[in-house]
Amino acid sequence: DVAIHNVRKILKDLLFTWCYIKDHSLLPAAISTEKDLKSVIKKLGDFIDVCMQLEFLQPGYFNKIKIQKEKNLLLKLKKELEHEKQLMLQQIGYSCTELLEQL
């Protein structure tokens, strides 16, 4: 999760300096357009958001809830978020592999 956050920060730096890059064709094809770069950054940001949501469903927070019905709902949400995280991780892995091959 930390590595993905760091990659996102680097790509955001690239986006912020986009107008200063003279030849975008020298960039890997996966991020050679501003639209593609923003798309990759969004995917990474969405992943980080899911990770943060899961952080609030850790035992330190979760165990403070007294109402069992709420706990059950949160357990269901946690399972859904964990599944979503795995799917997103697969997509990110594909994107990163593609980007790495182009470097």
Tokens representing residue 89 in the block? 């991780």
Judged against a pLDDT cut of 90, whether residue 76 lies above it is answered with yes
The backbone torsions φ and ψ at residue 12, rounded to the nearest 5 degrees and listed phi first, read: -65, -40
pLDDT digits (tens, 9 = 90+) for 5-56: 999 999 999 999 999 988 888 889 899 999 999 999 999 999 999 999 999 9
pTM (2 d.p.): 0.86
Give the model's pLDDT for residue 4: 92
Average pLDDT over the chain, rounded to an integer:
92
pLDDT tens, residue by residue, 48-59: 999 999 999 998
Per-residue CA distances from 89 to 50, 54, 83, 99 (Å): 11, 14, 10, 15
